[in-house]
Structure 1
Amino acid sequence: MERLIEFDKQLLLAINHWTSPWADQLMTIMSKVAIWYPLYLIVAIAVFIPATYSGRSLYRNECSGVKMWKAGLAALLSVLVCCVCTDLLGHIVRNAVCRPRPGYDAELGSMMRLIAGPGNLYGFFSSHAANTIAFAVATSLIIKRRAWTVVSLVWALLICYSRCYLGQHYPTDVVTGIACGLLFAFGAYWIYRFVMRKLLARVV
């Protein structure tokens, strides 16, 4: 365990000190939650548009007899529940584990570049990582468009990286958040498939 903790700290320092002025600006932007609200709104609208989905998606393949707004609502609510649950679990775990963020470590904090400040006191696990991965993976599974999958995953992983770059989280905080996000994303897709099957059964 001690080796893992030490590796976690050394990896964080390596990421935090691998810097450039443009990266400072980019990572600060990537970590701002509010700046991505328009993206979430666009996706929330797009799930009601048939052209959003690929021909391989459950929506396009099987829901011709289902009212389109119901299929879109199933997608929207599945992703929304997924993201709310990851965020809620993150707050519960953070207050239960009580692991301080790197900036509050007396020795480590003095060696770090805290561009955006140390953040709130506790940081395990990263809600940024959990929420963005959950959103990217859940929407990718539902929409099934390769371009969206690539763009959304790169976007989510950049946000995850930014959390260590800014010194807000240890790498293990972020990796745990990613794992949580993946778990809830696949759960959201299962819910979506279940709801869609129920809708299709009513049509048949």
Structure 2
Amino acid sequence: MAREQGQLSQWDDTKGYGFISPQKGGSRVFVHIKAFALQAERPRLGQSLSYEMAQDAQGKWRAINVKPLKPVAQSRPAAAGADRAAASARSLWLVPLFAAFYLICHLAWDLKPAVWGLYMALSLASFIVYAGDKRAARRGDWRVSENTLHLLALAGGWPGALLAQQLLRHKSSKTSFRRWFWASVVGNVLLFLLICSPWLKPLLRL
């Protein structure tokens, strides 16, 4: 028997039945939970299916021997984009990690509260600037230059910039921008150590 393909366009999980929209077009096909082959997951709306057609006792057509179709493998560009998005999301852990690192430095070196206040103020400013730039991009208005965004990150606003990139989905995929952004993050941490560390202060007096 020839097999058809379609998509589960309606499904009532409590009653155990729904309808399949054939890939080739035409009327939707009734399908019952008992028609599905043994599978670990329950049928889900939008699932691509393979099935056969048969008539029931009342002469109505329905789907039988239903099997889920394997998802098409992602193309390399799409997979690479997904990998970059996942890596960007994981980078958010740097914010609490840096906060913990700063706390340790504060306890060990007796840092002034103004240092943390500066990071907070610049992070808030960076988030606001990112939000404004995204709004300008949508409206086609004047944009904030990338150099300004990098300078804010270098000065200490990179935690807020990192949050804005992920929460607002702005400047989170452009490779060249990300490269310079991470360079500014590294530069800021090095500046923090250079200025605040008691071990390196003698070098500043030379």
Considering the TM-score relative to the shorter chain, is it more than 0.5? no
Which structure has the highest helix share of the two?
1
Which structure has the highest strand share of the two?
2
Higher relative contact order structure (alpha carbons within 8 Å, sequence separation ≥ 6): 1
Give TM-score, length-normalised by structure 1.
Answer: 0.32
Give TM-score, length-normalised by structure 2.
Answer: 0.31
